Amino acid sequence: MTAYETLLRLAFRTPEDQATYLTPATLDVHAGFERATAREQPFRFEQWRLGIATSLLRMLADLGEHDEARRAADVLHRALNTAQSPADIDKQIHKENKLFEQIYTNLYVNDEGEALLDLFARTLDADAPDLLAQIEYEAVDLARELDFEARHENEDDQDE
């Protein structure tokens, strides 16, 4: 399994999420980039970036019950699965620009959340496959360390 596939499976842990988000198009993104002709590579690179960014936002959402991050991840996932060009990706994401701004303004962030947001920002800034691959590996390492259940256990303890 590639680092990309590992990241997806760490981000989308439940069978329901996997059925919804791990579509053939999403799962094939990295391999599609590897197979792409020079002409196709810019679009395939953007799809790969979207897959990583979607995973990071979904983990952020799950870590802190952050609805804006979940909705933004859905926007990215939809663009990954439906866009036909980099311009189409930009168009779809631009429609929801305010949602992405809200991620940074309406958020209480702990250290893990800050690390996810940092990786997300670096994903958006990555302009070469080597940089994106490095971020992908860092995201896998971080995802393996995250304790999504601890937050829910703490909330349960406070409710009692």
pLDDT in tens, 67-106: 889 999 999 999 999 999 999 999 999 999 888 888 776 6
Whether 48 contacts 8, CB under 8 Å: no
Q: pLDDT category, 12, cuts 50, 70, 90?
A: very high
CA separation, residue 25 to residues 22, 56, 80, 148 (Å): 8, 18, 8, 27
For the cut 70, the answer to whether the pLDDT of residue 156 exceeds it is no
User: Which structural domain, as residue segments, surrounds residue 59?
Assistant: 3-159
Q: pTM score, two decimals?
A: 0.89
Whether 136 contacts 5, CB under 8 Å: no
Measure the CA–CA gap between 77 and 64, rounded to whole angstroms. Answer: 20
For the chain, the domain total comes to: 1
Give the type of residue at 106: N
